[in-house]
Amino acid sequence: MEEHCQPWGSTYSTDYFQFEEDTIIDGFVYKKVWISEDETYQNWNFYSAFIREEDNKVYYKHMFGEEGLIYDFNLNIGDSVTINNPRAAGEITLVLEEVDSVFTETGYHERWQLKNNSYPNSEYWIRGIGSETGVLNSSTGVFGGLCGLYTLLCLKESDELVYLNPDYETCYLYVSVEENDGENASPVIVFDNVSKEVHIKLKDNTSNSVLIADISGKVIKQFDKANEIVRYNMATNPTGLYIVVVISNGKPATGKFFSY
């Protein structure tokens, strides 16, 4: 899943990546990287990129670029590795700080936490699967940014589900938020990452019904007589995408926000 930042809010889309068809470049055997953007992943296009694995290390390269190391699963706690992912902002040295485990469709897998003290975000690798920011996106999340993120939704091998992200429980997510004007304009939604509180500013101070639901449609909070600004703390709810529905004078308006 990729977040796309817009002036009126974020939209979300899903890309499928597939690795198949051997090709030899400079004496190394790579798999071609293919991409599909439709939900049924029937239409594939060559991504002009290649990936190869050797000695528990994974390398990635663009068509006319140098390859970069994106994984090294030979580390012990305290070891460092320099990752040079062509998809990331630059080269970065990471230190393996902790190893725990996550439950997947095929049992428990090791999860590695790697960090660079110059950046606040950690990098997480799941052994046999890849980065929690996406198989090709190793190290991209460490650099952070004002907006935008990648998230691994699922992984399949030979069409068998190996990993499903428990925060989303779907392999495909597409959300488009359009800027609305007029009587049913979308509410202004601000999420405070420090307090974990969402602020929903309503267009007027008349009595409104406000619902907050997860992406499956399950209502997690309802306000029956809201006016002006609604505040709700999301700290006890999982990270993920949430939907806000405001009903004013019998007419609904919707908005979305991402809770970190």
**150 and 205 together in one domain:** no
Q: What is the pLDDT of residue 183?
A: 54
Task: Report yes or no on 88 lying in a domain.
Answer: yes
**113 and 61 together in one domain:** yes
Q: What is the pLDDT of residue 9?
A: 54
Write the DSSP string, 27-44: TEEEEEEEEE-STT----
- Supply the CATH number for residue 229's domain: 2.60.40.3080
Task: Report yes or no on 122 lying in a domain.
Answer: yes
Task: Report yes or no on 179 lying in a domain.
Answer: no
Q: Tally the domains of the chain.
A: 2
Distance CA 12, CA 10 (A): 7
**What is the per-residue pLDDT across 91-142, written as a single tens digit (0 to 9) for each?**
999 999 999 999 888 889 999 999 999 998 999 999 989 999 999 999 998 9
Q: What is the pLDDT of residue 159?
A: 87
Contacts 24+ apart (CB under 8 A), 195-198: 195/233, 196/233, 196/234, 196/235, 196/259, 196/260, 197/231, 197/232, 197/233, 197/234, 198/231, 198/232, 198/234, 198/242, 198/244, 198/257, 198/259
**136 and 228 together in one domain:** no
**95 and 159 together in one domain:** yes
**30 and 141 together in one domain:** yes
Q: Which domain holds residue 84?
A: 2-164
Tell me the residue type at 109: H
**69 and 195 together in one domain:** no
pLDDT digit string (tens) for the chain, length 260 residues: 887 765 545 677 899 999 999 999 999 999 999 999 888 888 999 999 999 999 999 999 999 899 999 999 999 999 999 999 999 889 999 999 999 999 888 889 999 999 999 998 999 999 989 999 999 999 998 987 656 678 999 999 988 999 999 888 888 887 665 444 445 566 788 888 778 899 888 876 666 788 898 766 678 899 988 878 899 999 998 877 788 888 877 777 788 887 87
**41 and 123 together in one domain:** yes
**212 and 119 together in one domain:** no
Distance CA 53, CA 45 (A): 22
Distance CA 120, CA 258 (A): 19
Question: What does the DSSP 8-state code read for residue 186?
Answer: P
Distance CA 181, CA 183 (A): 7
Task: Report yes or no on 60 lying in a domain.
Answer: yes
**110 and 197 together in one domain:** no
Residues 6+ apart with CB under 8 A from 103: none
